[in-house]
């Protein structure tokens, strides 16, 4: 084998990762798994795929060693194989944001006008959490919250936001809602509902994956009663 042919085999291994990432559905599954492990049926429901389609995508990710599995009785749970997979996903996203002029317009069609609910940045939110001047709510599903959430956050799934706003929301402190990162609509919906009720609310653009990658504190378990 020539030296160059041997070198090409190295790039073939790199290309396995690129090929595995080359489908929107698989990227969405990686984004969901960045929130915590799940069985295929839960992933399929959240990604609005058939179970068969989700399973096929997961098998491609598994073959590229981007996900791992564990068995619990009759169920198989999928999880990201390593922290480097989250770093890869975030790096891919940042590259798209910096290089693809079309992305903001596409995102606006889904998220609405970004200026309507301008997010608080990560560093400022960390300062306010440290100072105790905000109440942070995690509006993702409860099972995602339990697997990892911003330190001190309260679990308020988006479908419970009206009840929480009526019965439990603070009247004086600012409320900061976050979900799965900048392309998740849950926090936008939560802030809109809170503002309709006269509450002081903003959204955080970053979620657990971004905070973990930045080395900031992440907790696990349920909300304190």
For the annotated catalytic residues, the residue numbers are: 179
C-alpha torsion angle, residues 213, 141, 201, 224 (rounded to 10): -90
Q: Which residue has the tokens 């030296």?
A: 3
Quick one: how many helices (H) and strands (E) in the chain?
11, 9
Please report which residue ranges of the chain form alpha helices under DSSP H: 3-20, 24-33, 40-47, 51-63, 83-99, 103-111, 122-131, 142-147, 161-167, 186-196, 208-213
Contact by Cβ (8 Å): 5, 19: no
| 61 closest CA partner among 31, 97, 36, 92 | 31
3-state SS assignment for residue 16: helix
Written as six digits, the tokens of 38 are 């799940």
CB 122 within 8 A of CB 204: yes
Task: Specify the residue for token string 């194989």.
Answer: 81
């Amino acid at each position: 084998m020539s030296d160059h042919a041997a070198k090409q085999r190295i790039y073939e291994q790199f290309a396995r990762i690129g090929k595995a990432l080359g489908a929107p559905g698989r990227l969405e599954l990686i984004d969901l798994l960045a929130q915590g492990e799940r069985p295929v049926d839960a992933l399929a429901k959240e990604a609005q795929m058939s179970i068969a389609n989700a399973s096929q995508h997961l098998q491609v990710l598994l073959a590229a060693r981007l996900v791992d599995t564990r068995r619990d009785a009759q169920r198989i749970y999928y999880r990201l194989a390593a922290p480097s997979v989250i770093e890869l996903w975030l790096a891919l996203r940042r590259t798209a944001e910096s290089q693809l002029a079309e992305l903001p317009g596409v995102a606006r069609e889904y998220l609405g006008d970004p200026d309507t609910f301008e997010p608080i940045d990560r560093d400022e939110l960390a300062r306010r959490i440290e100072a105790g001047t905000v109440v942070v709510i995690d509006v993702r599903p409860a099972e995602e919250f339990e697997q990892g959430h911003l330190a001190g956050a309260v679990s308020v799934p988006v479908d419970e936001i009206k009840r929480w706003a009526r019965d439990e929301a603070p009247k004086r402190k600012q409320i900061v809602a976050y979900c799965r990162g900048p392309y998740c609509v849950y926090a936008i919906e939560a802030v809109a509902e809170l503002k309709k009720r006269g509450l002081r609310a903003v959204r955080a653009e970053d979620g657990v994956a971004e905070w973990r990658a930045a080395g900031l504190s992440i907790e696990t378990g349920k909300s304190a009663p």
